[in-house]
């Protein structure tokens, strides 16, 4: 008999505990069992109907300003319980405090941002998209595009690496739009998501049915989706394929957003030298991206492109900084980088590195530095690994395999056009960062690369002190990417509301449109 607490699900408006033993979650550093999650015995149809009917109706009865106030209330609840979240993150995600903050405080910041944006939408119940357009010479008959909250439920199927931010960056625009949320967190790190939902539900700040959680198996969740529901998936490209081909999407036109994996790039200006500030900015950012959350960020830099003459200086400079990164138990204050989230991920990263090595040389692998306060046979800790290729054009694996850990590959390029072509070999990525003192290069590279990236992050010395970071996803900027990154779009300020609204063209008399406008707010993302 397993004595670790079995966490209940909040579903169909009540707390429900699985009728089986569930799955045990572990501390990835100590290897000790923590809690259990599961959903055996839940009536899925009942829970989806409850959220859709009770939660949806209650949220839609409120206006944007009132729903924005709900987000402010959620922020207060999360802030009041912040210490507990940090403890759970240390135990279940193996992260140092600084990395837990990216997930926990990043979520609170995003909720606060949408609370403010939503408040400015005022007391409206729908949004006006653009201006009226005359349909005839006589302006009495016009068309106005309007956006109304969809009358369905938003199902979130989330990845393991952001149990907090992954929930709230989606829930903030959904709840603000008036759409109830059902979240299914990734099993390995579900505890933090469950605890946050528990705190918010127990505080009674949201209407019944507005926020539900189902931990454990995803089986059957997609089967519940109906035409006005939406599903937002974050995870691997492999699972994304299964989601996309589900009948809910293929046959019932359920709206689907996919955030999948990505081989993000950092590109140094072809005219840079190793004495330039741009060079040092790239080196620092690469090291930060490799080590924050042990490289378990979908936006992390995986491929680094430098002019051929700087391949060796860059390798040396990055390796020198990586050698200062202490790895081990996040409870030890001397540790800078904690663990991967599980031993399974450890195995995946180890075999991924071996795969990349078939096309790359090892420039740094952290050996023989021992782990701090952690047993290498138990802890899911890996040292940062910098690989390198002097011939990235003939490489295949390096542009195709995402190793979800503290791993990146340095690559040499010969000219600007070749650099763009190599970056584009990622076949669609979340983000590309540029490092240059030349604004003309930044503009040129942006034109060459923006269509294959959800975000272009151009860093020059004048923005060094204020820039937001290659991998940080900010709520005012779009997150998502074309092609293998999934083709999705999240955040981007009020653009996020698009996904949770249905756009209609209203063709009517000026008098009718005037009355409609009284319930609406202009939509200016």
How far apart are CB 232 and ligand NAP at their closest, in Å? Answer: 10
Tell whether residue 259 is a contact of ligand NAP (CB under 6 A).
yes
Per annotation, catalytic residue among 215, 298, 432, 442: 298
Compare residues 47 and 178 and give the one whose CB is closer to ligand NAP: 47
Q: What sign does the dihedral 373-376-381-382 (CA atoms) show?
A: positive
* Residue from the set 12, 29, 159, 335 that interacts with ligand NAP by CB under 6 A: 159
Confirm or reject binding of residue 160 to ligand NAP (CB under 6 A). Answer: yes
Stretch (H or E) spanning 97? helix 97-119
Residue 235 touches ligand NAP, criterion: CB under 6 A: yes
DSSP string, 175-206: HHHT--EEEE--GGGHHHHHHHHHHHHHHT-S
Q: Nearer Cβ to ligand NAP, position 229 or 402?
A: 402
Rounded alpha-carbon distances, angstroms, from residue 235 to 160, 381, 445, 470: 8, 21, 29, 20
Decide if 229 contacts 222 (C-beta within 8 A). no
Binder among 92, 110, 187, 342 for ligand NAP (CB under 6 A) = 187
Complex with ligand NAP: residue 307 or 487, whichever CB lies closer: 487
**What's the min distance (Å) between Cβ of 186 and ligand NAP?**
4
| Residues 376-415 within binding reach of ligand NAP (CB under 6 A) | 402, 404
**Nearest CA among 39, 27, 85 for reference residue 183:** 39
C-alpha torsion 222→225→228→234, nearest 10: -20
Instruction: Output the smallest distance, CB 247 to ligand NAP, in A.
Output: 13
Q: Is 169 in the site for ligand NAP (CB under 6 A)?
A: no
Tell me which H or E stretch contains 347.
helix 343-357
Using CB under 6 A as the binding rule, whether residue 260 contacts ligand NAP is answered as yes
Largest CA distance in the chain: 80
Span from 79-87, 228-236, 278-286, 304-312 in contact with ligand NAP (CB under 6 A) = 228-236
Our finding on whether 295 is near ligand NAP (CB under 6 A) is no
Among 147, 157, 267, 322, indicate the residue that binds ligand NAP (CB under 6 A). 157
CA triple 399-481-315, angle to 5 deg: 40
- Contact region for ligand NAP (CB under 6 A) — 55-63, 77-85, 138-146, 179-187? 179-187
Q: Would you count residue 472 as binding ligand NAP (CB under 6 A)?
A: no
Stretch that binds ligand NAP, among 88-96, 140-148, 184-192, 248-256 (CB under 6 A): 184-192
Query: For ligand NAP, which is the closer residue by CB, 317 or 382?
Result: 382
Given 59, 93, 174, 298, the residue binding ligand NAP (CB under 6 A)? 298
Find the catalytic residue in 169, 259, 359, 490: 259
Q: How far is the CB of 224 from ligand NAP (least distance, A)?
A: 12
Residue 361 designated active-site = no
Backbone angles phi, psi at 15, to 5 degrees: -80, 130
Q: How would you write 118-160 as a 3-class SS string?
A: HHCCCCCCEEEEEEEEECCCCCCEEEEEEEEECCCCEEEECCC
Quickly list H helices, 41-96: 44-50, 56-60, 64-80, 82-88
Is 489 a binder of ligand NAP (CB under 6 A)?
Answer: no
- 269 is a site residue for ligand NAP (CB under 6 A): no
**Smallest distance from the beta carbon of 380 to ligand NAP, in angstroms?**
13
Q: Which of residues 307-326 bind ligand NAP (CB under 6 A)?
A: none
Indicate if 381 belongs to the active site. no
Q: Is 506 helix (H, G, I), strand (E, B) or coil?
A: strand
- Owner of token pair 């790190």: 189
Round to whole Å and give the CA distance between 46 and 42: 8
d(CA 172, CA 432): 26
Spatial separation of the C-alpha atoms in residues 183 and 53, rounded to whole Å = 17
Please list the alpha-helical segments (H only) found in 413-454.
Answer: 416-424, 439-449
Please report, as ranges, the residues that interact with ligand NAP according to CB under 6 A.
157-162, 184, 186-187, 218, 234-236, 239, 242-243, 259-262, 298, 402, 404, 430, 485-486
Q: Which residues are catalytic?
A: 259, 298
């Amino acid at each position: 008999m397993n004595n670790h607490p079995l966490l209940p699900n909040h579903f169909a408006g009540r707390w429900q505990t699985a009728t089986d033993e569930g799955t045990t979650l572990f501390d990835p550093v100590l290897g000790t069992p923590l809690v259990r999650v599961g959903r055996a015995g839940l009536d899925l149809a009942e829970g989806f109907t409850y959220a859709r009917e009770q939660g949806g109706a209650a949220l839609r009865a409120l206006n944007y300003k009132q729903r924005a106030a709900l987000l402010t209330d959620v922020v207060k609840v999360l802030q009041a319980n912040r210490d507990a979240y940090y403890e759970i993150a240390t135990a279940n995600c193996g992260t140092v405090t600084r990395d837990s903050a990216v997930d926990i405080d990043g979520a609170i910041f995003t909720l606060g941002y949408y609370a403010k944006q939503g408040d400015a939408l005022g007391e409206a119940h729908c949004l006006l998209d653009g201006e009226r357009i005359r349909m005839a010479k006589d302006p009495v008959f016009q068309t106005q595009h309007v956006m109304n909250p969809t009358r369905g439920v938003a199902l979130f199927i989330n990845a393991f690496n952001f149990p907090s931010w992954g929930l709230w960056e989606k829930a903030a625009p959904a709840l603000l739009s008036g759409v109830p949320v059902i979240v299914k967190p990734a099993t390995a790190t579900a505890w933090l998501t469950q605890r946050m939902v528990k705190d918010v539900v127990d505080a009674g700040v949201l209407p019944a049915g507005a926020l539900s959680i189902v931990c454990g198996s995803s089986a059957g969740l997609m089967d519940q989706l109906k035409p006005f529901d939406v599903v937002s998936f974050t995870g691997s490209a492999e699972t994304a394929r299964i989601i996309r081909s589900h009948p809910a999407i293929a046959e019932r036109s359920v709206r689907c957003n996919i955030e999948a994996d990505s081989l993000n790039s950092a590109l140094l200006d072809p005219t840079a030298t190793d004495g330039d500030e741009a060079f040092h900015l790239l080196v620092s950012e690469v090291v930060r991206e490799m080590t924050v959350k042990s490289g378990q960020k979908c936006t992390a830099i995986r491929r680094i492109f430098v002019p051929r003459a700087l391949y060796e200086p860059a390798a040396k400079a990055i390796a020198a900084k990586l050698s200062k990164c202490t790895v081990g138990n996040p409870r030890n204050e001397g540790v800078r980088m904690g663990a991967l989230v599980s031993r399974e991920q450890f195995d995946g990263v180890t075999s991924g590195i071996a795969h990349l090595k078939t096309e790359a040389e090892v420039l740094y692998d952290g050996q023989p530095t021992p782990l701090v306060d952690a047993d290498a046979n138990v802890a899911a800790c890996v040292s940062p690994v910098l690989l390198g290729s002097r011939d990235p054009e003939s490489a295949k694996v390096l542009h195709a395999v995402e190793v979800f850990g503290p791993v990146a590959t340095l690559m040499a390029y010969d000219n600007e056009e070749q650099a763009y072509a190599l970056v584009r070999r990622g076949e669609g990525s979340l983000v590309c960062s540029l490092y240059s003192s030349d604004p003309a290069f930044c503009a040129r590279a942006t034109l060459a690369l923006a269509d294959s990236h959800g975000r272009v992050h151009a860093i020059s010395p004048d923005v060094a002190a204020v820039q937001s970071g290659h991998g940080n996803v900010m709520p005012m900027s779009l997150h998502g990417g074309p092609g293998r990154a999934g083709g999705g779009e999240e955040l981007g300020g009020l653009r996020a509301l698009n996904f949770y609204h249905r756009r209609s063209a209203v063709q009517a008399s000026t008098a009718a449109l005037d009355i409609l406008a009284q319930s609406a707010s202009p939509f200016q993302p």
